[in-house]
Amino acid sequence: MINSSIDNKNNTIYSTISAVVLLVATFYIAFVPTQSDFFDIIIAGGIAFAGYGYLSFFSNTKARQIFGLGMIIRFGMLFAFPNLSDDIYRFVWDGQLSAYGLNPYEYLPSDIISNMDSPFWQELFTNMNSPDYYTIYPPFTQLIFFISTWAGENVWWSSFIIKVCFLIAEIFTFIGIVRLLESLKKNTSLAAIYFLNPLIIVEGMGNLHFEIIMVSFLTWAIYYTLIKEKIAVGALLFTLSIASKLLPLMFLPYFLFKLSGTKRIKFFALGLTFILFAFLPIIIGLDIGNFGSSIDLYFQKFEFNAGIYYLMRYIGQLWSGYNLIHYIGPLLGTFAVLLILRKAYFSSTNSLQQFLDFAFFSFCSYLLLATTVHPWYLVIPIMLSVFVRFRFVVTWSFLIMLSYINYSYDPYFENLWVVGLEYGLVFGIIGYEYIWNGKRKERVKEF
């Protein structure tokens, strides 16, 4: 009894220290360094992950405490201007175009900047990272950009409005994760894996990457489709998730193969109808080509922090003498699609756990084969890792912060030794976890 009391007291002390460490370190990352301050970012990130690791895997922290701490940190983030990303300027640019009655999918910023003679528009254009590309942000995202213009011609206040939207989304995400955990009869404190993850907080509330909005809709889409079996609501929420980021499209094969006949027809009929309405700004404006061309660039031009692709690129350069991304990118994308289709088709049952396992496998396969893997791309697999046996994505969410070293070079340079270290450790952990989980299954069978 005495030992138990001492253990509880120690756990409270260590949990409190870990919470303070996590809060201070994430605030430091959000408020102090710029994108080029790699050592500040990685040291503070390491400290934040130490606090997060204890709270998520070694403490007895309850779900309500996890929510409280996560919300305190996120509330503080409302007042931090995105300092590790310049995407905010494209967000506000697109929103301002919509506010002026112009279709953001129709115009290249570099083509119309000469018609925008105010200092505000010049500020947006000068700080934008994609002035020569058509926007790739789907319609629901554009709606939030438009709402942000209620702040007038002020980027900081536009950022604040978007962050309020993110804060609301994160509340719903936490509740959705807890609901799913309860449905699976799992410990609700596992929600800490997502809700206290420093990468989620920094890249979401800090830098405003819209995977946060997407994952909120996705969580509830899963809940209403597979738990409540309210197909119409589930289809609508999936559509809103896709209209925030296109990535949830890769999960649709599961429903194609595993939903029963009438449910499948209803899900896809309603989903297609909702998608047509959601994407009307693109369809009516006949800007599908512009939108598609920017998406195509992702596979055939952009490359950043990739894993298997960089290895294939190296082999291709040895063989041909030049970069074969135009062939390797689409090839790896096709292979990822085939893996996803195969996994969906051979999933044994239509159940919540089967879908979560499928979704985790599918998205991780996609990332490991992608030509571009930014840190915030891990938002979906981190959320899904709450419900599956594998934890390598948690470690990856820290290792991927090493990619910030590339911005510390002048001129910009991608350090492939660091990329090799990141993916070497990631694949090593994946191998270990697959072997460990395989042995654990064998022990259960023997017992």
What was the pLDDT predicted at 443? 42
Amino acid at 178: V
Q: Tell me the average pLDDT of the chain.
A: 91
Cα three-residue angle 388-392-397, rounded to 5 degrees: 110
> What is the pLDDT, as a whole number, of residue 42?
98
**DSSP line for 20-63:** HHHHHHHHHHHHS--TT-HHHHHHHHHHHHHHHHHHHHTS---H
Q: How confident is the model at residue 360, as a pLDDT?
A: 97
What is the value of pTM for the model shown? 0.93
pLDDT for res 381: 97
Between helices 308-320 and 352-369, what is the axis angle to 10°?
A: 30
Query: How far apart are alpha carbons 365 and 360 in whole angstroms?
Result: 8
Beta bridge partners of 372: 304
Considering only the C-alpha atoms of the chain, give the largest distance between any 2 of them, rounded to a whole number of Å. 76
pLDDT confidence of 433, banded at 50, 70, 90? very high
CA-based torsion, 197, 199, 200, 202: positive or negative: positive
Question: Is residue 84 predicted with pLDDT exceeding 50?
Answer: yes
Confidence of residue 444 (pLDDT cuts 50, 70, 90): very low
Once rounded to an integer, what is the mean pLDDT over residues 7-23?
Answer: 87
Task: Taking residues 311-339, report their average pLDDT.
Answer: 89
pLDDT of residue 289: 57
pLDDT tens per residue across span 258-277: 998 899 999 999 999 999 99
Residue 50 has pLDDT above 90, yes or no: yes
pLDDT given at position 130: 84
**What pLDDT is stored for residue 114 in this prediction?**
87
pLDDT above 70: residue 3: no
In this structure, how many other beta carbons lie within 10 angstroms of the beta carbon of residue 308?
Answer: 16
pLDDT at 294: 56
Tens-place pLDDT, residues 117-143? 889 999 999 999 888 888 889 999 999
CA atoms within 13 A of residue 259's CA, in its CB half-sphere: 23
Please choose, from the candidates 292, 174, 167, the residue with its C-alpha nearest in 3D space to the C-alpha of residue 223. 174
Comparing 139-143, 145-149, 200-204, 316-320, which segment has the lowest mean pLDDT? 316-320
Give 150's Cβ-side CA count (13 Å radius): 8
Residue from 9, 2, 46 nearest 395 by CA: 46
> Where do the H-state alpha helices sit in 184-260?
192-195, 198-201, 211-222, 231-242, 252-258
Q: Given CA atoms 352, 354, 357, 361 in this order, what sign does their dihedral have?
A: negative
Q: Quick one: pLDDT at residue 325?
A: 85
For residue range 221-272, list pLDDT tens digits in order.
Answer: 999 999 999 999 999 999 999 999 999 999 999 999 999 889 999 999 999 9
Whether the pLDDT of residue 378 is over 80: the answer is yes
